[in-house]
A and B are shown apart, each in its own frame.
Chain A
């Protein structure tokens, strides 16, 4: 079997007195670059650096890639304590699949668990070109004309918002919708792809502000997930976001705000269900106002439909 090397990097701090580890010790975990030109079995080094004045004992390092990517071994234990100022590097193998066309973001995580604490380090590698804007991610038709209802399929059962009922609320293609202090442009034309079913798409978006707002609605009762924002300085932030079901769910579910409420909906057989309201919501996550947003990654949840994004 191939030897997987574990190397302790000695430093000038060898004479630091040994004291018991404490939970608040600063420990850094870094992950080496992963060869993403698969299919390949890639070698990855995880380095744990003890920046504290105490020894790290009973160190176990766990490494993981994207879901479904096999790692060997999943955990490595380090027999000897890591002295203050020293680093230990442990090696893993990971099965990297064929690189996908388009834009991908691969996140790798390493966890260093030791006596009295645990530290997680991550590495994100991007490849390809992201979608130019949210519209490029549109993959669903949510709004149809009552005269041509079969064009729509918001809920995967052939039902959709009625363009005529939305117009009664002054919501038409190109019109402005305001919510949570943000201004959105309602998509269109009617009967064309007008929203993104969230599937982890990443698209370019530039701006600065205190929060990122999304306009959308839910198909199903669990239309929520993690939206991630990438700043131009390479850092990122993320937050959970969700929309209530377009009907039959509390309008405040997932912390959302009701924005548009229409009467009835289009079904494959025509306009119907006038006894119910079909709704559009807004929700947001906080941003660092000092940083410039560069990319946005939608959650991966097939029930979550996004009509627009805006910074407020």
Chain B
């Protein structure tokens, strides 16, 4: 029997709809089990973990494409290390133009504008001089995309203002630090019909994207666990008097116990598990070591006259989040920026048929694999041939440009190029507000769990029930950048 013809010829659309109600789908048995387990084991449930009701007329942004823009006009808020570092990349993407720059320090805005002119680009409008200068930028009529690279404490306020100003918004990590702020950004995105997303450059890392494609091919079998994080010895920079403006980042270590910044390692693992695209975070439990690293470093390296001596550090050196998913998977997300150690985002993914580990001294990629049936003998193999075979189309297409235009091994530029391409071509964003909220939720949830002796806390479903739907994301279909006129 031909199922298609039988459906179309025997039944009218109306009847098909009626009968559709006769069947019910279940994502999996483990889903139900995990849901039950999560509900019964979560010792503490923050009130805001439950999805707030949508306002009248508010609709999901799942699978909503951008309205196509012939040219993407970009306004940059925050021109410190990160914002200034991304400026050249934005200006280099075909079809993008930086039309506005803003910093609380007006001289930084001017310097950024001067630099763009030196690059042969049009001079952008400068905003600056006060804490509210960004409000003028988000209201301007010549900006389509606002890129926010200010200290963490300003992200929610500025991101929301940009949405309300009718702009799409890319926000550096994290998009917000409180659960109610995350929900607020989700709701504001849905109400304004504008996208807001985490500027997670590591989601576009070459190893990470190859790992993702291998996961979808099934090379790891049924994925059971993954590990990521941000392990970066920032002590010297944290105590620098010039690197982080007003030492904003170090001050977070004196006022919060949160896992501030695990997203660089968490997001790629979450993508490989199709979080919000077939699975979702259910519970989170956190542990933290004693905060020793910064105080010890200060004792050995910082003069007693330094203002940091007035600070007491309370953020654990290693904060670990264990996140359980609806499909029974486990993610471990680590954060440690105050201990002496080489850099790592861990990047490990494992399943019933194999494992990938990054940041190991093997071969040219830094990655190693062990995959059945290709491998045996209990010995690791070089990741290089797999990365070559599963190289993402973005890296094949613009990898050379990325190496010439972007920092962090080129993944900054790949991220910027892809965002501009999606906006110009009218595509659905690879990373949406729901992904961004889920990846940033460990910041407030780690605090909740740690305050309750590490007991599990529920992770909100920011999609409001649409997490189980299969959707493409970072493992996208190849498309071209629209031609520039």
Chain A residues proximal to chain B, CB less than 8 Å? 1-10, 28, 30, 32, 38-41, 45-47, 49, 66-70, 72-80, 87, 89-90, 93-95, 97-98, 100, 155-157, 198-200, 219-220, 225, 299-303
For A73, the chain B residues whose CB sits under 8 A away are 25-28, 468
Select B16's contact among A2, A5, A40, beta carbons within 8 Å.
A5
Query: In the complex, which of the residues B6, B26, B213 has the most CB atoms of chain A within 10 Å of its own CB atom?
Result: B6
Q: Mask for B1-38, Cβ within 8 A of A = 1, else 0?
A: 10110110011000011011011111111000000000
> What is the CB-to-nearest-CB distance from B90 to chain A, in angstroms, rounded to a whole number?
27
| A32-B3, A68-B221, A219-B377 as given contacts; A79 in contact with B23, CB under 8 Å | yes
Interchain CB contact under 8 A, B476 and A39: yes
Contact of A3 among B1, B11, B20, B223 (CB under 8 A): B20
Could you say which residues of chain A place their CB within 8 Å of the CB of B373?
A: 198-200, 225, 299-302
User: B: which residues have CB within 8 A of A?
Assistant: 1, 3-4, 6-7, 10-11, 16-17, 19-20, 22-29, 213, 215-223, 274, 278, 351-353, 372-377, 379, 465-466, 468-472, 475-477
- Complex: chain A residue closest to B24, CB-CB: A77
The minimal Cβ–Cβ distance linking B14 to chain A, given in whole angstroms, is 12
Q: Given that A47-B6, A219-B376 are contacting pairs, would A95 and B470 also be in contact in the complex, using a CB cutoff of 8 Å?
A: yes
Instruction: Using known A-B contacts A39-B472, A87-B1, A219-B376, determine if residue A4 contacts B20 with beta carbons closer than 8 Å.
Output: yes
**Distance of A69 Cα from B219 Cα, bound (Å):** 10
Dominant secondary structure at the A interface: strand
Q: List 29 A-B contacts (CB under 8 A).
A: A1-B469, A5-B7, A8-B22, A9-B1, A32-B3, A32-B4, A38-B477, A39-B475, A41-B470, A67-B353, A70-B278, A72-B27, A72-B469, A73-B27, A75-B28, A76-B25, A78-B23, A79-B23, A80-B22, A87-B3, A89-B6, A90-B23, A95-B470, A97-B217, A98-B475, A156-B379, A219-B377, A220-B376, A302-B374
Q: How far is the CA of A28 from the CA of B6 in the complex (A)?
A: 15
Shortest Cβ distance from A268 into chain B, in angstroms?
15
Is the beta-carbon distance between B25 and A9 smaller than 8 angstroms? no
Q: For the complex, what is the distance from the CA of A95 to the CA of B219, rounded to whole Å?
A: 14
Count of A-B contacts judged by CB separation below 8 Å: 166
Nearest-Cβ distance from residue A66 to partner chain B, whole angstroms: 5
Nearest B residue (CB) for A49: B1
Cβ 8 A contact of B3, one of A45, A66, A69: A45
A77 and B3 contact, Cβ closer than 8 Å, known pairs A72-B470, A95-B278, A97-B213: no
Contacts of B23 in A (CB 8 A): 4, 6, 76-79, 90
Question: How many angstroms from the CA of A151 to the CA of B476 in the assembled complex?
Answer: 42
Q: Is the CB of A30 within 8 A of B353?
A: no
Most chain A CB inside 10 Å of its own CB: which residue of B25, B353, B379: B25
A220 to B158, CA, bound (A): 60
Residue of B nearest to A94 (CB): B470
Q: Which of B218, B219, B220 has the most chain A CB within a 10 Å cutoff?
A: B218
B472 touches A41 (CB 8 A): yes
Q: Does A302 contact B24, Cβ atoms closer than 8 Å?
A: no
Question: Which residue of the partner chain A has the closest CB to B466?
Answer: A1
Interface centre among A38, A75, A97, A301 (most CB of B within 10 A): A97
Smallest beta-carbon distance A123→chain B, Å: 12
Question: Once the chains bind, are B3 and A74 in contact (CB under 8 Å)?
Answer: no
Contact B7 A70 (CB under 8 A): no
A68 pairs with B25, CB closer than 8 A: no
- Once A30-B1, A68-B219, A94-B470 are accepted as A-B contacts, the answer to whether A156 and B19 lie under 8 Å apart by CB is no
Q: CB distance B17 to A3 under 8 Å?
A: yes
Q: Tell me, rounded to whole Å, the shortest Cβ–Cβ distance linking B386 to chain A.
A: 12
A72 to chain B: closest residue by CB: B470
Nearest 9 pairs of A and B residues by beta carbon: A68-B218, A73-B25, A6-B23, A300-B373, A302-B376, A9-B6, A47-B3, A156-B377, A97-B216
